[in-house]
Amino acid sequence: MKTVITYGVFDLYHEGHENLLRRAKALGDRLIVGVTSNEFTKQRGKLLLADSLDIRMANVRNCPYVDEVILEDHYGQKAEDIQKYRADVFVVGDDWKGKFDYLRKWCEVVYLPRTPGISSSSLRTAPYPKISFGVVGSGRIVRRFLEEIKTVHGGVHAEQIYNPHRESAERAAAEHPDLSVCDSYPNMLKLCDAVYIASPHETHYAYAKEALQEGKHVLCEKPLALKEAEAKELFAIAEEKSLVLMEAVKTAYCPGFTRLLSIIETGFIGEVRDVECSFTKLTAPDVRERTDTEYGGAFTELASYTLLPVLKLLGCKDLQVRFDSQFDENGIDLYTKAYISNGKALSCGKTGLGVKTEGSMIVAGTDGYIRVEAPWWKTSRFSIHHEDPQDIQDFKVYFAGEGLRYEIAEFVDRIQGWHTSDYHLTKEESITMARIFEQYLEYRKGLREE
């Protein structure tokens, strides 16, 4: 009995896959196929799968050449499986030529010619309407966005860029040949399907409102708005026009943070009683966030992150909010502690510019606590601790690149209708954040008037 084994994602199952499996089976008597899990597929950079895992596995199982289907969910599994199943031959398409030679230690390795002219990613792009992004702003985050959007399949392209300071947009476009500079925001809105707004905080609301009124989906950098009423209005327009409006707090969409929350929800640390997290950044003194006396400062720049776990774990209702800030000579806050409680749990979110502290997060509960390693906002490693100091459970969840790909992929998923839930960052949470920003700016204004 000669056993052949192969692996694949098999998204949007097609003749290329079938050809591979037929030729693989011809090399032996039994063919085992490992189908890659969603999480492991994402770890390998393929983000936007069209088929669910059970559809992908069912398609492979229904193939007449396949005898057994297993799930591939971690690096190193191929070596384990080949020994476990005593596979005689490992087969894969020759787009992987050389990548699996190390398996020759256990079995024959065969790279078969790919079927030309077909691939899951081309199929994934073809049937779905292309989404053309217009980008507003051309600062640091835009450069990261333009790189990250390339990792999101599904026909997603940034094609226009607008900045009132045209020369800045031209510099960004120079680095991205398929990006054209628009001379006005209304003109850009005519050319795109969705906008990514990454302009200074105080302009977000107006840009988002105009885009929504023009029927465009909006992914807006945090903070979406600095007033509760403005945030409410934006979501109302989006709902009325069946448009997607998302606040781009990248942590909310990354798999590690989602895993952290679901582990806490399952009761691993009992009832949450305290959330402490920090986000501080040492910057040059002349950057926007340290010179704009009206909208700059540590809290408006970074508190979208520190508010996220607090609102996720304490909820958005009946919150008591108090601030403590240290200001520079211009009344800009360099270090702010936001104390938020809901009658059952406490929290302290620390934000700092020009002050540096540990970027970790601690969630304290009645049965133990979770420590999320710095930078907690790129959640990838966390551990659960109990009374017994030896009783520690470690978790590691892959965080790809700059992490913007997760919010972009979710934005595209929701525009395509592939999924509609806003559970990663709900409307209520975005509106509550805007309310807390509004409270902070009133607090700061009050202190300046004293």
Q: List contacts with ligand C2G (CB under 6 A).
A: 7-11, 16-17, 20, 36, 92-93, 95-96, 114-115, 118-120
Name the β-bridge partners of 70: 34
Distance in Å, CB of 39 to ligand C2G, minimum: 14
Asked if 35 contacts 17 with a C-beta cutoff of 8 angstroms, the reply is no
Residue closer to ligand C2G by CB (options 49, 245) is 49
Residue closer to ligand C2G by CB (options 9, 226) is 9
In the numeric block, the tokens 């559970």 are attached to 423
DSSP letter at 98 equals T
Question: % helix / strand / coil in the chain, to the nearest 5?
Answer: 40, 25, 35
Distance in Å, CB of 40 to ligand C2G, minimum: 9
Query: Exposed e or buried b for every residue in 303-320, given b needs 16+ CB within 10 A?
Result: bbbbbbbbbbbbebeebe
Distance in Å, CB of 77 to ligand C2G, minimum: 9
Asked if 131 contacts 188 with a C-beta cutoff of 8 angstroms, the reply is no
Residue 370, helix vs strand vs coil: strand
Distance in Å, CB of 30 to ligand C2G, minimum: 18
Distance in Å, CB of 146 to ligand C2G, minimum: 25
Distance in Å, CB of 16 to ligand C2G, minimum: 3
Distance in Å, CB of 261 to ligand C2G, minimum: 29
- Token couple for 152: 């999101």
Residue closer to ligand C2G by CB (options 46, 424) is 46
Residue closer to ligand C2G by CB (options 122, 320) is 122
Residue closer to ligand C2G by CB (options 16, 354) is 16
Residue closer to ligand C2G by CB (options 7, 323) is 7
Residue closer to ligand C2G by CB (options 3, 280) is 3
Phi and psi based region of residue 48 (left: phi greater than 0; alpha: psi -120 to 50; beta: remaining): beta
Distance in Å, CB of 149 to ligand C2G, minimum: 21
Residue closer to ligand C2G by CB (options 68, 214) is 68
Residue 444, helix vs strand vs coil: helix
Residues 6+ apart with CB under 8 A from 329: none
DSSP letter at 149 equals G
Distance in Å, CB of 407 to ligand C2G, minimum: 24
Residue 55, helix vs strand vs coil: helix
Name the β-bridge partners of 371: 362, 383
Distance in Å, CB of 20 to ligand C2G, minimum: 4
Task: Give the chain's largest Cα–Cα span.
Answer: 86
Residue 94, helix vs strand vs coil: helix
Residue closer to ligand C2G by CB (options 96, 395) is 96
Closest among 207, 150, 148, 215 to 182, alpha carbons compared: 207
Residue closer to ligand C2G by CB (options 121, 341) is 121
DSSP string, 279-347: EEE---TTSHHHH-TTT-SHHHHHHHHHHHHHHHHH-SSS-EEEEEEEE-TTS-EEEEEEEEE-SS-EE
Q: Which residue is nearest to ligand C2G (CB)?
A: 93
**φ, ψ dihedrals at 71, nearest 5°:** -100, 130
